[in-house]
Amino acid sequence: MQNISNLFEFQEENCKKFIDRIIKSNREVFIMSSLVEKQMCGYDLIKEIFSSCDVFLSQGTVYPVLYTLESEGLLHAEYSKGDMRSKKYSLTPKGRKIAEKEIEDFSKALEQVSVLLSR
């Protein structure tokens, strides 16, 4: 029985490694996806992605993406009322359109990869 338990733990850990790699290499999609529903600061995005995906993205990973998306006109940033240290990010209309398209494309790509690996 212990061998079966060890096998499940190994498979689960191996699966987690792939999920970690997928999310980290496609962090823009996951960040934009998190911002579709509501505006958030960088710290809230880190917590959101960790709680929903069990993958930790560091501040050094998230903030450069936010700054790039903002400079491309896909995000709007504003300081929270009474807190000049924390910026809240939200998708611009252009950013929302691009986010929805990237989420759709990403989902289709994952489906195609799954079909290819199932052969």
Indicate which CATH number applies to the domain containing 41.
1.10.10.10
Average pLDDT, the chain: 89
Q: What is the pLDDT of residues 47-101, one digit of tens each?
A: 999 999 999 999 999 999 999 999 999 999 998 777 777 899 999 999 999 999 9
Phi, psi of 72 (to 5 degrees): -85, 0
- Copy the structure tokens of residue 85: 């240290």
pTM for this prediction: 0.84
Q: Which residues of 23-35 are buried (b: 16+ CB within 10 A; e: fewer)?
A: beeebbbbbbbbb
Domain that holds residue 62: 2-117
Q: How many domains does the chain have?
A: 1
